[in-house]
Amino acid sequence: MHKYIVYAAYGWLTFTGVMHFAIDVVSQHLRGKHVPSTETTLYYGLHSAFALGQFVFGLLGLWLAWRALDLLGQLPVVAVSLVATAGWLALSVLFMEYWQPRLNTAIFGVLVVAAALTGRR
């Protein structure tokens, strides 16, 4: 069970990072939703960093799950994942007007806690 929850957590993070980038950056840029300005640059920068950070962290988690699954049940790895979750939640609450990034990040946090609890022996 632990293996499936770990893959679900980091797979979810990778998937939502890609979707966030595709929807909030690429799609809006292609449709011309924002006029060129400093605010637009900050909008695209925030969403790009947020989404790509989730994508890279998710890929790292998937790679670790593939190479050393038992490591993802250890307290330091769980702590780093939860700190990253708290950071993404803080960014999404403070700077993003959409509720979807908050929900996606919260789901990742719950899955990380579930993986930590199932990985304990």
pLDDT tens by residue, 40-72: 888 889 999 999 999 999 999 999 999 988 888
The number of distinct structural domains making up the chain is 1
Nearest CA-CA partner of 24 in 52, 5, 4:
52
Kindly report the pTM of this predicted structure: 0.89
Range of the domain at 93: 2-119
Please count the helices (runs of H) and the strands (runs of E) in the chain.
5, 0
Which residues, 6 or more positions from 110, have their beta carbon under 8 angstroms from its beta carbon? none
Which tens digits make up the pLDDT trace of 83-112?
999 999 999 999 988 899 999 999 999 999
Sign of CA dihedral 3, 75, 101, 23: negative
